[in-house]
A and B are shown apart, each in its own frame.
Chain A
């Protein structure tokens, strides 16, 4: 039981010497034939083809259940847990965060209509096994857990914390619509240069100017930092609002405590809206062609 792979075990090692194709089709559900060879000739001769027996013996005792693979999995996990239940565990919530395979993914692998409540039983055992203390985690358990893990662990993807380099400048990157802004923020006296131009030269609209430095203005830091930024792509509104995010992120490197204030000012969340694609049969994304009589 221990050496048996939990999942992906449906393709078995089938001898290439099988003469009948029908045996091959049965391989998935049936155990290999019992060799009733004469013990005297069992040692040397292998040139003789094995005999074909009509009666098939199931590979697993759970063959006659509704979801045999699932049942096997559950039983093997229960077995595993039973064996290692005495190992010390970490406190609840301190185990490494793992994203298990979703129900849909599991169903896809086993090829059986597993119910959510049933799968939940597997997850409970996995969760318990995951709480075994990492220093004492048996290799067997680790390999079994790995089989149930999602391909990519989303919890490993953590945001990089912004930092201030040796010259005292912090870089922040912001995006909006199709614009991208990179802002380097240093302590200073409120001078702002965007693409080598002043704020007034870059943005004709006063509203856009305010958007660009909104992170500083909303927190009352406009006279305490200098900003040097590069903006590209998109139009003026996009560029100005990309600047908002970039400046806010760079400002967070200097003053991390400003995060709640900046979130209230709307400088933390990236606006995900983009131009909606055009659809066939429509003039634009949503607009229908004009009504025509007949």
Chain B
């Protein structure tokens, strides 16, 4: 064996050599025969730090305390998709909550201002339809009550009157619902949806514009379009399925026009069947949606309600990329473009109806153009003239969004009135959720603490922040 030290230094063997020798001694000294030693695995030389733990590396002066290893998760991890299903689960009934005697929402209550402050139950078939169009959202507290109910407000009567007038005059209500966080914008959309279901309208609803614009669903360029339009076939197919499921009216309506579709369409096909065909095959969903829209806007059809929540997602660039790796504007997505075309009033609704958008104030991008348009529209409605001018140096405006939002109306939601707040709190008390006496003092206190009656804040203060 060649020594690791040089021959001149034999008198003073190096440290590593001595340690090696010392470690090997049992094997070396015991064996007259070398077989066992050869057969055995060679003993590993220990690292110098392990051999002499007393010596530390120079320069390390600080105290080191050994950290504990992170705790290993115990139990079975959830299956793929289980968490999301749990997160998105909508519970509409709670058997622990008390039954509250109340009226069912009907088509006559839609535009009745005297009903303000009353809580009405949603009829079963409307609940099914609303569930199909995903109008109920997870954080709205539906699971606290025996059955879904709706507070009728002054603003909902205003919206209802507009819808009734539109139905009568065969015009389109083009409206954006705005208000601060928790002021009930999505619930106002739900009110409009249920009113439309009750009055036999055809209802289309995009429950969350975010799903369309944040690049989470498939997209493909539509051939023969310049500038290129992108369709979202899977989303559109699902959208058609929702339309078919929620609108029972479609069973009675038949295709009357001839369409240039990739699949043959039998005579006397119902519109429900048409939607089903589109829902079945995502590749043809967009042409089928167009055919469906052409049918429902044809002569002698019921009015149409088209709603979209979280409007500001659609008023700027989407998260999708074009072939040249540029961000696609949300208005180049076929479904969004379809919505904003009707929201802007470029195309009319010949049978009347409503195109409603609602803003989102908690988790949505800020669209400078939308903010400006809403402010100006509100000023025009209240004072008859526009007082806020566009910032001449502002760079965040989106010209395409501005064009589309020029002539929309705004429904600005404020806090509840005290009468409405009282109606709501009495309903909670009857459901067994609010245990104190509902009187003037309690109502005003909760109303004031909730920022002058912001309904979401009242709910937070009364139902969720119970100590």
Which residues of the partner chain A approach B415 to less than 8 Å between Cβ atoms? Answer: 198
Tell me whether B444 and A293 are in contact (CB under 8 A). no
Which residues of chain A from 257 to 294 have a CB within 8 Å of any chain B CB? 290-294
A61 to B445, CA, bound (A): 78
User: A222 contacts the other chain (Cβ, under 8 Å)?
Assistant: yes
Please name 29 pairs of A and B residues whose Cβ atoms are closer than 8 Å in the assembled complex, sorted by A: A190-B444, A190-B445, A190-B447, A191-B452, A192-B452, A198-B415, A198-B451, A198-B452, A199-B451, A199-B452, A200-B449, A200-B451, A200-B457, A201-B180, A201-B451, A206-B449, A206-B460, A206-B465, A210-B449, A213-B449, A222-B444, A222-B448, A223-B441, A223-B448, A290-B63, A291-B63, A292-B61, A292-B63, A293-B63
* In contact, A223 and B440 (Cβ under 8 angstroms): yes
Chain B residues near A (Cβ < 8 Å): 61-63, 180, 182, 415, 418, 440-441, 444-445, 447-452, 454, 457, 460-461, 465
Name which of A201, A213, A290, A294 has the most chain B CB atoms within 10 A of its CB: A201
B444: chain A residues within 8 A (beta carbon): 189-190, 222-223
List the interface of chain A (C-beta within 8 A of B): 189-192, 198-201, 206, 209-210, 213, 217, 220, 222-223, 290-294
How far, in whole Å, are A199 and B453 apart by their CA atoms in the complex? Answer: 10
Find chain A residues with CB under 8 A from B441 CB: 220, 222-223
Given known contacts A190-B444, A200-B452, A293-B63, what 20 new A-B pairs fall within 8 Å (CB)? A189-B444, A198-B451, A200-B449, A200-B450, A200-B451, A201-B180, A201-B451, A206-B461, A210-B449, A213-B449, A217-B445, A220-B441, A222-B444, A222-B445, A222-B448, A223-B444, A290-B63, A292-B63, A293-B61, A293-B62
The chain B residue with its CB closest to the CB of A223 is B444
A210–B465 CA distance with the chains assembled, in angstroms: 12
- State the main secondary structure of chain A at its contact with B: loop
Q: Which residues of A contact B447 (CB under 8 A)?
A: 190
A192 touches B62 (CB 8 A): no
Given A189-B444, A222-B444, decide whether A199 and B449 contact each other with a Cβ distance below 8 A: yes
User: Are B62's CB and A209's CB within 8 A?
Assistant: no
Contacts of B440 in A (CB 8 A): 223
Q: Is the CB of A292 within 8 A of B62?
A: yes
Please, which residues of chain B bring their CB within 8 A of the CB of A210?
449
In the docked arrangement, what's the CA distance between A200 and B180, Å? 10
Task: Provide the bound-state CA to CA distance between A290 and B65, in Å.
Answer: 13
- A199, B180: Cα distance in complex, Å: 13
